[in-house]
Structure 1
Amino acid sequence: MKNSLIKRSITKVIKKSIGLCIVLAFAICGVVVTSLIPPQILKYIIDNNLVPKKSDHLLMPAALYIGVIAFTGIFDFVKEAVLTIMGQKITKEIRMEMMEKLERIHAMFFSTNSSGTVVSRFINDVDAINSLFTSGIIGMMVDCFKLIGIVISIWIFSSRIGMITLLLLPAAYGMTRFFQKRMLKAQIENRILVGRLNNHISESLKNIQMIKAYSKESYMEEKYKKCLLDNYKTVEKVNFYDSVYSPFIQVTRTVVIALIVVLSSKQLDFLGISLGMVAASIELISNLFAPIENLGMELQNIQQAISGIKRINDFNSEPEDSPKKYEKRAETIIQNREEVHLSLHNVTFQYEEGTEILKDINLSLKPKERITFVGRTGVGKTTLFKLILGILEPTKGMITINGVDVYEIPNSQKRSIFGYVDQSFPLIKGTVAEQISLKDESITREQIERAIDFAGLKAYVEALDNGLDTHVVSDTLFSQGQKQLFAIARAVVTSPPILLLDEITANLDSITEEKIVSVLEKASEMYTILSISHRLSTMIASDTVVILEHGRVKNAGSPEVLLESDAWYRSHIALEKLTWS
């Protein structure tokens, strides 16, 4: 775990909780020491009181026996309480470190990892690591100390019983290693399958309306059953090894105790020990197998934690966004809207090596120019927008605004340069005003009101019970069209000079679409607008239309010129008119 996220988190917690660590060490010592005393007291009671039948002094040893057991319970309670507190602190610190990592992680990570997989790492894997401290490695350390103490105590009673005990330990270790390898493999498989299962549930809930509309319930159910069955098989493996391990230990313990009783009998008298020593040895042997049996459960928790640690360390090793070199504020890039020059210089991009999504894109936009990107689905239009926003970095080439590489602009400054609108409007917990500002304290009330008015939502918002201060408790407060208008208001609230519109009218009826298009027509007078349109006949008025095909610019020009010169563009316009007539 050298220089790992988990090591950093544990180190931070230990430094902040020195007092708890001291209490934990004291409690562990108390548990180990007090657990070894009762057999010694039992030997004394039998040899000095019960065998000679002297009950005069039995009360004090009996009280001491009960008292020591009570202290063992107290020490064990303190140990578990401190472990729980420390475990929760470590869990919190790990999740905080992971969230900070998530903020720095490269956007390409989200192209290859589903939300369910990421959530599984934050929840299931971290919980597994928590068990490493609450019932894993510390418990194993305590049990190992108990084993050492028990072996020493037994050896003091009888070297022959001590030899028998020592012969048992390698067998127990071999059995532990046998199960360890198989349980670790099963646990890693289980973690992967839990992530897939979570992702399937997340996707089902996200697309539930589409699933019902297209009667795909049975398909999703079968897919869910398969994920569940695969996960069940891995859990079954872990449970099988665990269920076999415990009975094996119990049977071995019974055989060893029976052997000690037989060897201590008057007929054989092989061990040559007193009756008190026999009773104490039996209790110690029982106590010997108890920690060995516990090791099985602790081993399972440790295997879960190891698989969780591996996945979290893999997450921690994911590439991060490179530090942004441009440190000046956005106002120095764009001093007025008449000087916005967005340029794409030989932009090539690939998610995977050897598969180019975009290739050699060269474009130059004038201030307040309106440009629309069209093309078949999967041609790379949305990817191009992510590159323009500086979310993704071109594999080759560069995208600049007034000569500054957009990828080198800090994300905190981009909202004052770009306004982005797509088909969805993710809600946050908060008021209507906070849906627009996203709780950015630098955005004033006046800016929010101006954005609401610009989007044509002023009358609707004023009709709400508390206006802009109305708390949004569910997405049913707004219609689909209103959500799209709110998305526009969110994009323009900082008055960025460039708007990017990603198929924002794709899921709207014609009346709502006309209203939104009219708002965007108004916006086109003040902003440089880049849009992606799925329907050529209803896109906002554009100065230039860029046709993408196979990741390249196939053609570009004004709508009028393309209507005459480009057969693909002309045929799609005609087809849409025929479809919607």
Structure 2
Amino acid sequence: MMNKDMFSSKIKLFLTYIKPYKISFSIMSLLLLANIVIQIIQPQITRFIIDSALSNQSFRSIITAAMLFLLIVLFNLLINVVIGTLAETIGWSTTNDMRVSLFRICLGQDMVYQQKRTPGEMIERLDGDVSTLARFFSNLSIQFIGNALLLIGILSMIFIENWLVGLCFTCFTVVLFAIFRKLRSISSLHWFNYIQSSANFSGFIGEAVAAKENVTGNASLKYIIIKYTLLTRNLIRNQMKAMLMANGMWMSNILFTGLGTALMFFLSLFLWRQGATTVGGIYLLIHYQQMLMNPINTLRSQIEELQQVDASFARLSSLIIPSASIVDGNRKLPAGALDVKFDQVDFAYNDEKMVLNHISFHLRAGETLCVLGRTGSGKSTLSKLLLRLYDPLKGNIFINDLDIGLYQIDSIRSRIGYFNQDIKLFNASLRDNITLYDPSITDDQLLTIIDQLQLDSWFRSLPHGFDTIISQNAGLSAGEEQLIALARMFLRDPGMIVLDEATSRLDDATEYGLQNILKGLINKRTAIIVSHKLSSIRLAKYVAIIDNHTIVEYGEREILENDNKSLLYEFIHSQEGVTLQ
């Protein structure tokens, strides 16, 4: 059963997403009220026609009433068309608005938040759960209220006709909804379990498809199928439990419909024998009883949907709660190169072993630092802290002499360009892959960045220029993928760039060419190059070597290269001489 906090949160969320469409929603509400009034009035006109015909009243009055009845029916059909159109419009609009806002929230969270949820689960929530809630916002909510008002209106008209019949059917309705409520409180948990198991199933499918090469290459297909079978079995089991409870409500409704019809026939016969009603009155009572079952049946179906709404709302509530570990600031980073300072920074993932220990350095605006270290030394974590994907456990990070926590996260991630070896391309045009779907970027801007990255000849070879469709599996070389990713980054004109193992996939010749391109692009920008390859120091003025999760050497590259007591000198002249493994 929905508690008070969930109800108030649901109402708050409802008002938030309906507010932009309040005029359309208000019109739809008024039309729905008109529809309710018409449904209640129609049987009264039919009753008048029946009683008038039996009492030999004027034919003219009967014809007039019949014409009025037809006009009301036609008007009501028109109202239903308008209500349906508005409901669909509001439904799709709120659905899209909610998906966009939730998608923005999800992408803005820290890595702790991201790692707790699989991509498939996120898709299920952003698609299935949002669709369920949007249906509630646009259609279910107003129809639920409308049917409740229609139910009250019908019971009121039965009371007006005869208080005894009205009292009987009010008690009948109360008992029926008490049963529905009890069944709903039981079945909400089953719906939650079903939706959660559906999300788990989608998440597993996404992971299995993404890891298909590893699965087949390690002869693990049979184990994946076993896991698939277990998840499918759990999904079907939870679905059957949820549907069984829903069918229980449906069966209860069928039973009570029959009982209600029998009760109304009995009461009508009793009133007729007592001379307390007319033929038209009997028709009116029986018609209202049949009408009564329509909102009850609809409300029963909507209560079933509310079970899904409760489950979806509970799951989305956990999705949209901001991560407590990351608090957004209110300042914006200025234009130009950025000054960065790490002051005694400590960090560990999930309270485990320290990944960074007492990290301190100061990189002035426009300078370049190469951070060298063995695999697992913690050097890549520096990048994640700069982007505020995580916050330090101890110590402080300063940008332009202010604590990084004072700046807006969006401002940090727009002014600091991040580039790593894991390049992701969309199945879209070259334009969309570079601009990331930003329509404000012109072709002239794209051509400028293409020229700066020395991609002119490659670009001219494309059959449709910027409209050429590319993707992750389009046969592009590692170097071409890297350059497309660089184009994305430099198109934003960042004040700082972070290159995290950016050249680890490249051969020596391609890496050397890429470094020559980068040399001009990082001019007048602050740059941090994170790598385990000694060749990466070519672009740097300063070098920091991390070992055992702390900086063991820091200084100007040229000085360290020529100091036979430095670690950098030792690495350069060692037998490996290329990488730190």
Q: State the TM-score, normalizing by the size of structure 2.
A: 0.78
Q: 2:550 aligns with which of 535, 549, 553?
A: 553
1:519 is aligned to 2:513: yes
Alignment correspondent of 1:339: none
Deviations 1:438-490 (A, max 9, x none): 8584994575144422xxx54433333355x3523434151234313443555
Rounded to whole Å, the distance in 2 between the matches of 1:197 and 1:46 is 60
What residue in structure 1 maps to residue 469 of structure 2?
472
Classify 1:382/1:67 alpha carbon distance in 2 versus 1 (closer, same or farther; 3 Å). same
Could you say if the C-alpha distance between residues 422 and 7 of structure 1 is closer, same or farther in structure 2, counting changes exceeding 3 Å? farther
Aligned position for 2:21: 13
Q: Which moved more, 1:263-272 or 1:218-227?
A: 263-272
How many pairs are equivalent? 549
1:247-278 Cα distance to aligned partner (Å, 9 max, x none): 32222222232233345548994785444333
Distance 2:248 2:432 in 1: 60
Q: What SS is found at the alignment partner of 1:35?
A: helix
Q: In structure 2, the residue corresponding to 1:359 is in which secondary structure?
A: strand
Per-residue deviation at 1:22?
4.5
Aligned-residue offset at 1:165: 0.8
Residues 1:143 and 2:147 aligned together: yes
Question: Within 1, Cα distance between the matches of 2:57 and 2:128?
Answer: 59
Counterparts in 2 of 1:199 and 1:250: CA distance versus 1, 3 Å: same
* Other structure's SS at 1:318 match: coil
Matching of residue 163 in structure 1 with residue 167 in structure 2: yes
Alpha carbons 1:370, 1:530 under 8 Å: kept: yes
Which of 479, 482, 488 is equivalent to 2:480?
482
Residues 254, 46 of structure 1: CA spacing in aligned structure 2 closer, same or farther, 3 A cutoff?
A: farther
Instruction: After TM superposition, give the deviation of residue 417 of structure 1 in Å.
Output: 5.6
Amino acid at match of 1:295: L
* Cα distance in 2 for residues equivalent to 1:116 and 1:386: 24
**CA-CA distance at 1:171 after TM superposition:** 0.3
Distance 1:435 1:137, change over 3 A: closer
- How far did residue 389 of structure 1 move? 4.0
Q: Deviations over 1:376-427 (max 9, x none)?
A: 4xx6443332113444322211234675555556654666665523232434
| TM-score between both structures, scaled by the size of structure 1 | 0.78
- Counterpart position of 2:458: 460
Secondary structure at the aligned position of 1:352 is classed as: helix
Contact kept, 8 Å, 2:379 with 2:530, in 1: the verdict is no
Amino acid at match of 1:86: I
Residues 80 and 134 in structure 1, CA contact (< 8 A), matched pair in contact too:
no
From 330, 335, 345, the counterpart of 1:329: 335
What is the rounded CA distance, in whole Å, between the counterparts of 2:452 and 2:429 in structure 1? Answer: 18
C-alpha displacement at 1:286, in angstroms?
1.4
Structure 2 SS opposite 1:423: coil
- 1:124-182 CA-to-partner distances (Å, cap 9, x unmatched) read 22211222144422212222222222222222333322222122022022112112212
Which segment is superposed worse, 190-199 or 364-373?
A: 364-373
Q: Which residue of structure 2 lines up, in the alignment, with residue 532 of structure 1?
A: 531
Q: Decide which moves more: 472-481 or 50-59.
A: 50-59
The 5 A counterparts of 1:127-142 are 127-142=131-146
Question: How far 1:88 sits from its partner (Å)?
Answer: 2.9
- Quickly say closer, same or farther: Cα 1:215–1:479, change in 2 above 3 A: farther
1:170–1:518 CA distance, 2 compared to 1 (3 A): same
Q: Give the structure 2 partner of residue 361 of structure 1.
A: 359
The alpha carbon displacement at 1:27 in A equals 1.8
Secondary structure of residue in 2 paired with 1:372: strand
Within the candidate set 385, 391, 394, 2:392 is matched to 394
Q: SS of the counterpart of 1:136? A: helix
Distance 1:433 1:250 in 2: 55
Letter in 2 for 1:280: L
1:328-378 CA-partner distances (Å, limit 9, x unpaired): 3334x46xxxxxxx54322122443566543333456695453322134xx
Alpha-carbon offset, residue 287 of structure 1: 1.2
Q: Which residue of 2 aligns with 1:448?
A: 449
Give the unaligned 5+ runs of structure 2. Answer: 1-7, 555-559
Q: Which moved more, 1:194-203 or 1:96-105?
A: 96-105
